Amino acid sequence: MIKNKKISVVLLISLLFGVASCTSKMAYNNLDWIAAWYVDDYVTLTDTQEKEFDSAIKSFVSWHRKSELQNYILQIKYIKVDVKNGIKHSNVNNYTDSLRQFLDVALTKFEPEITKFAYSLSDKQVDQFLAEVEQRNIERIKKAANEGKQERLENKLERIESRVESFIGDLNTSQKQLLKETNQALLPTFDHWIEFRRNWANAIRNAYTLRSEVIAIEGLDSEHAKTVFREALKPTILETNSLRSEAHLAVLEHNQAIWATTIEKLVTSLSKRQLAALNDKLNETIEDLEALI
């Protein structure tokens, strides 16, 4: 799913998942080279692979513009109505379901191209990719170890407040207290996330091990090897929750419930000025989406 500073399912979904929006309209329009630049951080591609990757991204973006952006616009219009009428806990759960459906549709569409591209990687490229993934895990672990619990809480609260204010403007005292209490109630996910990242990497490694075993018997162009590889890789693309522990899933569910309650209280507390700011942001988002179609 394409992330966008104004395209993410705005405040409500961003808060619920704790996701900072990270790109702009220009990034959406240039996703092909941005994606290539991101991949290049992990693995060095051949000229042929770069061309195939670029073509796949452009095809996906074209499809996404025509087939998906209108659904995002409709969802934001629903949010506008709910903001006006007063958002309820059940509304936020519906937004969560919609976001998951948007993501599932996009991943299902792109999965064949991802798998085809992944199959083209050599064992050396796979080793390079997985080594870089683990190196980044280690760097994040070291950074977390150097931060005390209180410092992490304060930094996280600062990020949360900044995200909320980007949609509604300055927070009042009671709203800041609400977000502070929310931040304290959220369960930590870092250790679970690192475990998931490593399970994900191990699943990728397993897919390539199976590929090698079949190729050794049947050859590189074996359709059986491609099928075995695709089935083994599928959990890393379409079924990532299968790579999370039960404890991780429970923490995510807990935190989402906390955010659903917070969002309901926060929207109820909005002043006329804050409501106007939020509606302006929603309208801007709709305009940006329409400009991309």
- How do residues 41-82 score in pLDDT, each as one tens digit? 788 889 999 888 888 888 888 898 899 889 888 988 998 998
Neighbours of 124 (CB within 10 A): 10
20 or 249, higher pLDDT: 249
Q: Looking at residue 27, what is its pLDDT? A: 54
How far, in Å, CA of 73 to CA of 283, rounded?
A: 10
Asked if 185 and 153 count as a contact pair (C-beta separation under 8 A), the reply is: no
- Average of per-residue pLDDT across 129-140: 94
150 or 40, higher pLDDT: 150
pLDDT-based confidence at 15, cuts 50/70/90? very low
Q: How many residues does the chain have?
A: 293
Closest CA to 215 of 228, 234, 232: 228
Residue ranges of alpha helices (H) inside the chain are 10-17, 25-29, 31-40, 47-67, 69-85, 89-119, 123-146, 149-168, 173-185, 190-218, 223-237, 246-269, 272-292
- Average of per-residue pLDDT across 18-36: 49
Q: Looking at residue 89, what is its pLDDT? A: 82
56 or 228, higher pLDDT: 228
Closest CA to 16 of 270, 195, 243, 264: 264
Asked if 233 and 118 count as a contact pair (C-beta separation under 8 A), the reply is: yes
The per-residue pLDDT for range 263-278, each reduced to its tens digit, is: 999 999 999 999 999 9
Q: Looking at residue 29, what is its pLDDT? A: 60
- Average of per-residue pLDDT across 24-34: 56
How far, in Å, CA of 79 to CA of 281, rounded?
A: 12
Asked if 114 and 57 count as a contact pair (C-beta separation under 8 A), the reply is: no
Q: Looking at residue 61, what is its pLDDT? A: 84
Worst-scoring range by mean pLDDT, 39-43, 88-92, 114-118, 213-217? 39-43
The per-residue pLDDT for range 137-189, each reduced to its tens digit, is: 999 999 999 988 889 899 999 999 999 999 999 999 999 999 999 999 999 99
* Long-range contacts of residues 18-24, Cβ cutoff 8 Å, at least 24 apart: 18/160, 18/255, 18/259, 20/159, 20/163
pLDDT-based confidence at 94, cuts 50/70/90? confident
Cα separation values, 58 from 31, 51, 103, Å: 8, 11, 18
Q: Looking at residue 36, what is its pLDDT? A: 62
The Cβ-side half-sphere exposure at 263, using a 13 Å CA radius, reads 30
Where on the phi/psi map is residue 169: left (φ > 0), alpha (ψ -120 to 50), or beta? left
Q: Looking at residue 184, what is its pLDDT? A: 95
CA 120, 124, 128, 131 torsion: positive or negative?
positive
pLDDT-based confidence at 3, cuts 50/70/90? very low
Cα separation values, 139 from 22, 122, 142, 167, 171, Å: 21, 26, 5, 32, 34
Which of 219-247 are b and which e, b meaning 16 or more Cβ less than 10 Å from the residue's Cβ? Answer: eeebeebbebbbebbebbbeeeeebbeee
Give the amino acid at 103: L
186 or 13, higher pLDDT: 186
- Average of per-residue pLDDT across 267-293: 90
